[in-house]
Chain A
Amino acid sequence: MDNLPRFPKCYKAESKPHKFCPGCGHPIVLKMLGQVIDEMGIADKVVFMVDIGCSLLAWDYFDLPTTQTHHGRTVPTAVGFKLADPEKIVIAYVGDGGAYAIGLQHTLTTCLRNNPITTIVVNNTVYAMTGGQLAPTTVDNEITTTTPAGKTEFTTLKGPELLKTIAGKEAYIARGTTDKPLVLKQYLKKAIETQIQGNFSLVEAVSACPVNWKTDAPKTIQRIQELEKEFQLGEF
């Protein structure tokens, strides 16, 4: 047992086991974030905000001040909190729909203004909570419930690449994957450090949704690895 990685100290024990589906990428991202918060010793400073969609299931994930907001509105709520209390480390936890569709104007403008908050985007290429509809991140030919013949109409939105075109020099933008959690963890740490230095940061994590992808374990991993070719990993 001693060899097993421990739960992060900032976890809220009574909300475990968590409510995410088996094979979901969210718990991997949240565990890496929890470890970063522990290692940086910042639990007393972090304020955590979650969006609608699967990310809302993290509303009581941590023993940290946490609020759930409305779909796409987590980023402006985080900006408001940060302006009011700049000493806090404010993290907005959202899905690809929240960050790049219904809340895209907030994501873009917050990056443009270089507001010092950290946005974590969990990108599973579908609207998962509502049962697997087309997202801006849905890739070519991907079958969703609203594109049953496969998506072909338009290109795939690449959030970090888009933001890079308007981000200030001091901002930090990266894309990791739940397939390589320790690399993702490094990105999350740098993102929080960037916020502490007074700048905007965003980390996207390419993630899995076996329920909506209808993939078993080996195929889920295979699918994530395919997505890693579509969504360029690294720091931007």
Chain B
Amino acid sequence: MSTFLALLARDARVARRNLVPLLIQVLLQPMLFVFIFGQVMTRSGFLPPEYKSLLLPGIIAISMLLAGIQSVALPLITELQFTREIEDRLLAPIAIEWVAVEKILAGVLQALAAGLVVFPAAWLIMGGVELSREHPGLFAAIAIGISLLAATGGLALGCTVGSTQIGLLFTLVLGPIIFFGCTYYPWSALESFPLLQKLVLINPLVYGCEGLRAALAPQHPHLPAGAAIIALLVWDSALIWVGIRQFRRKTIS
């Protein structure tokens, strides 16, 4: 246990050292997006004011997903293939599966922290948004589900993607996940594209965004909250399994 906590403390120290770039990385893009779509587009009348409350859950979900994936996958890719820095932690007196679990926990915490920062910032930039406060439990459950998705996805990708393919990871994997993730629009908006509407259901981010919508802005159409929770659970469990297996493969030859 003390070994596990020491591993976590090491990641916390590194995160604290990189706090400013980390904050910029987490905040800048969502804030620009929120400003253009939540302020410019709505105030000029191209989008109705209600769009703000539709957008906010999506922005929170994207920020958490990216923060979690980046905090786990990017260091892993270099540490596993390049610098082998991870070896010191693999030699710590603890089963290496726990080293992977520690990575997941560190990723979850960073994703949650990103959500906690982006939420009020986006709310302020949009000039206040009417949000429901009736489902705090659901909000917490979905937020944890998304963080776990981000961290386990980061572990699986970080142990699979080569260091030369980092660019591809973002354009090929994260791009479609974000744009087909019901982030900037509700799932029901895809009704006129029946095939696409069914296809996007394999995308875990759909459940994150729709789940947050169910919690924060239930006046908009959204998937049933229970379905979102179950789907996130399935994805999280599958990615934990894949991530730890890939980690074992990468660290033991």
* Bind each other: no
